[in-house]
Structure 1
Amino acid sequence: MNILEVNGLSIVDDKTDEWLVKDSSFHVKKGRTLAIVGESGSGKSLTCRSLMRLNQPWLKETGTVLFKGEDLLTLSKKGMRKKRGKQMYMIMQNGMTAFDPSRVIGVHLRQATAEHFNWSKRETERKLKLAIESVMIKNPEEVLNTYPHQLSGGMLQRIMIALALILEPDLIIADEPTTALDTITQYEVVNQLIGLRERMGCSMIFVSHDLGVVRHIADDLLVMKDGRIIERGKAQSVFTEPEKEYTKYLVSTRKSLSHHFNSQMGSP
């Protein structure tokens, strides 16, 4: 069963008439992780932001984005806001952009939960602390009273994962969630994301340019280049027998970096 079906998605910059994404079609199966890979500027993040209806207003989108059978591109802004968080959840590349810098972490998490649940203050605090502890963060009360800039990128990513554990969305979109992290922290965050999917049974879109990371989390794989999908298939098949020259290039140029990551993950 497909939880998401994207058909003929195109994104055009109205200011320049430039096609940024051209006629993309793909689906995400329930309980599986689809990775989207490609170099910077290939259209990966634009595609994901389009699914969440977060692109700038001058970026015009056509096609259909069916989430559980409902076309997101035709939803009102209010209707889309109801989808975000509880049903579709996005983990940003830079944790700092996901939080209000003028407020402590706890304010953000409490507002997010209040949007979707009618919990008492006591119940909210209990669930927040449990979720933060479950992503291996100590002293949850202290963290809740900390400003975003006082935490590392890896900590902020794990807090976003903790919020996903609370909201229990059907689809998580992780847009380059490990790019700004060192190798050890990448390992921790990827393991947290794998655990998140296993615990909730949710579907996931994982965007990255690092095939070493993708190899450990993806079931299915799309390769994008210049705004187009040029190769797709089960992840292992694409890694071992890539068809397109561009995919072969991506695989070969990432092998040395992947080897280092694999050694951290304990893989051969």
Structure 2
Amino acid sequence: MGRVEGKTAIVTGGASGIGEACAKLLAQEGATVVVSDIDRSGGARVAKEIEEAGGKACFLEHDVTSESRWQEIVAETASAFGGLHVLVNNAGIGVGGLCEHFSLEDWHRQTAINIDGVFLGTKHAIPAMRAAGSGSIVIMSSGAGLSGAPGMSGYCATKGAVRLFAKAVALEMAQLGDNIRVNSVHPGVIDTPIWTKVTPETRAAFGAAATGNAVDPAVLASAMAPVGRAGTPDDIAWGVVYLASDEARYVTGSELVIDGGATA
């Protein structure tokens, strides 16, 4: 039997990167997975690949900043699959740049996806999980939610915010007696599009901090992680599978750091 057999999971940002890996490994371990993303072709591809591998999945187009769409996604999931047990709040963007050059438009766009989307998903998942009898909410924060990163002040702000949001909601659920756990995951440098698309200005700031030079993404990633390499999406997804599973039944309000020793 799989580690999350019989559970239904929504994975936001599931069309690529860490979200794709989470969706596929949750399905591999027995969950029915709703792949959620604004990327219609990518999300449909991931759901199809899960089904071709013998898993259960569907794709729903989803803008995480829309409260009405969140209500629809949760309702459709619970109705179609008999409940909602796992939410992986993974959708996010990384907009780099020095604070003094950062536009208010980019600030609002990043906070809308990285903070508002997490809030809305958590808000609407809770009643569905309560009705199902249990639940696990996994919020994708970052190593940048634990310590500052030059050239990433806006991103750090959003990831630090959801880290404490997870802890506060975990306490609310515990005090209410609901069997709903809330935890955050903190990846380090992972080989995904969000990392390779970092702006040259931000990369230069990172490079100066890590190595004294502005370097390419692969070299910089190796320099930033004591283990000498960037992580893979699966490295993060296996941590998410653990938090989603009953193995983690006593784990709530915690932060799971998966960063190759970068914050040690």
TM norm structure 2: 0.34
The structure whose RCO (Cα within 8 Å, separation 6+) is larger is 1
Structure 1-normalised TM-score? 0.34
Greater per-residue helix proportion: 2
> Larger Rg: 1 or 2?
1
